[in-house]
Amino acid sequence: MDTIPTTGRSFLFVLASSRPGGNTEALARAAAEQLPAGVAQRWVDLSRTPLPDFQDGRHDDDSWTAGADEEALRHATLEATDVVIASPLYWYSVSAQAKRYLDYWSGWLSVPGSDFRERVAGRTLWGVTAMADREEVRADPLVASLRHTAAYLGMRFGGVLLGNGSRPGQIRNDERAMVRAKTFFAGEAPLATFPTALPPASV
């Protein structure tokens, strides 16, 4: 497998857990430790970067006034070549914090002069999640949500690093997840695509 290039790469790790220092963060940091020294890393904890619930004002007369935290997060997102959503599996999908962050992407698509869609196209979206269930298929809705987001924006999708853990620190007992973390960011991720609809069955 090809190694990840160091030139010009910048990873934004978006921590979207309701618990600091949890299993998802530990798994994300284990994967990040394998990145070459020349690859920039920036970590943002959404629990320390509070965002109000997103209000869709694209069709309103009054423009949405962005707060300082939102603007900082938007710029951090646009500056990254790789965005990593680190969210525990909550009710079979991403956490409320991660969903709110992605909701803001909808607003950023219409910010005058931001060219958000054009600038994130071709960049890579990744996911990292810890889950209490040992059946990884239970995380399929979370994986699909991130893959479809990447496909809609013309991004690459590196997949989701899954691990098992509920109590603090338990993720480190998941040997398979820790092994996968060592090579998770290696290689080049493919462009994301929506699943192809199956043709109707013949009668």
Residue 202 has pLDDT above 80, yes or no: no
pLDDT band at 6 (very low <50, low <70, confident <90, very high): low
> Which has the minimum average pLDDT: 6-10, 169-173, 182-186?
6-10
Res 198 pLDDT > 80:
no
Across the chain, what does the average pLDDT equal? 89
Q: What Å distances lie between residue 169 and 27, 111, 127, 135, CA to CA?
A: 10, 40, 19, 19
Query: Could you give the CA distance from residue 159 to residue 192 in angstroms, rounded to a whole number?
Result: 10
Residue range 122-165, pLDDT digits in tens: 999 999 999 998 899 999 999 999 999 999 999 999 999 999 99
